[in-house]
Amino acid sequence: MPDRVHGELFALSDASIFATVTGNGPPLLLLHGFPETHLMWRDIARLLASRFTVVCADLRGYGASSCPSTVSDPLAYSKRAMAKDMIELMAKVGFGHFMVCGNDRGGRVAYRMALDHSGLIEKLAVLDIVPTDDSWNRADDRFALAFWPWSLLAQSPPLPERLIVGAPEAVIDQALEGWGSSATAFPPEVKRAYVQALSDPDHVHAICEEYRAAASIDREHDAEDRIADRKIDCPVLALWSATGALAEWYSSEGGPLALWRQWSDKVEGCAVLGGHFFPEEHPRDTAETLARFFGGPGTAL
């Protein structure tokens, strides 16, 4: 992180999770997506630290966090297991109740936290996603071509692992430059860090296992919640790229807000400037929007 914020590896019951903690105020957990790490929040964390205690974590299997084996636990990379990590992490930091914002894969962990641990999550923000089972149920040729990690990384091992480890730079280049965001949003040192994170075979295998879980057990968990009419109790903010897939694909159904309102009665949100990585493209705008939601009306940075 640019501010030289101290990071620590926290030993939890099933994994070791790397996280940074900075700032003062109500606790706010920030979760990254693919192919990023906690570094994606580098500018936003600095801005929000004036109002919140900001915790930026690497999901299990990503960044500097550990890679639990699926041999003894086939559900190790379900969002339910990853959500449990974050509940334990925040307790270690000293917070039993907190707010959470997740981008991309982190958003899937974040909304699972709100469903499985409703009494602990005070507010939830999800960035550029719709629920996992909703995504798969509406998948078409556009989905297969644009969201290639969903299908490629979910293939049986070791094919996707070998492909990614063999060309991590190509994966990073295609994602950062091909998903609607400007390449200038990623400083060289950050891009190098993302490439390095995709160069370790154990972490790449873990990431693929996470995508395999999204195509299987995560869908089942979502479907079970839908059948049980289980909803997210806390206020929800949904933001998505105005030029990205979510702004177009679900328009006939009322857009992303309509899908999220099937999961919560307290949803607000809108499309924002930038591509899929809009938090890195427009950190101040994103931070200000998050501050108003998490801090309440009139909260300014």
DSSP of 46-69: HHHTTTSEEEEEPPTTSTTS----
Is the four-CA dihedral 151, 154, 160, 165 of positive or negative sign? positive
Q: Which two tokens stand for residue 300?
A: 């300014």
Residue 252: which residues within 8 A CB-CB, separation 6 or more?
none
Comparing C-alpha atoms, which of 104, 124, 134, 143 is closest to residue 248? 143
Catalytic residue check, 203: no
Active-site position among 43, 104, 128, 222: 104
Residue 254, burial from CB neighbour count under 10 angstroms (0-12, 13-18, 19+): exposed
C-alpha distances (whole Å) from 286 to each of 43, 117, 194, 237, 274 are: 10, 26, 21, 12, 10
- Residue of 32, 203, 221, 276 with catalytic role: 276
Beta-carbon contacts of residue 1 (< 8 Å; ≥ 6 apart): 7, 20, 22, 38, 39, 42, 45, 46, 56
3-state SS track over 223-250:
HHHHHCCCCECCCEEEEEECCCHHHHHC
Determine whether 276 is an active site residue: yes
The residues carrying an active-site annotation are 104, 276
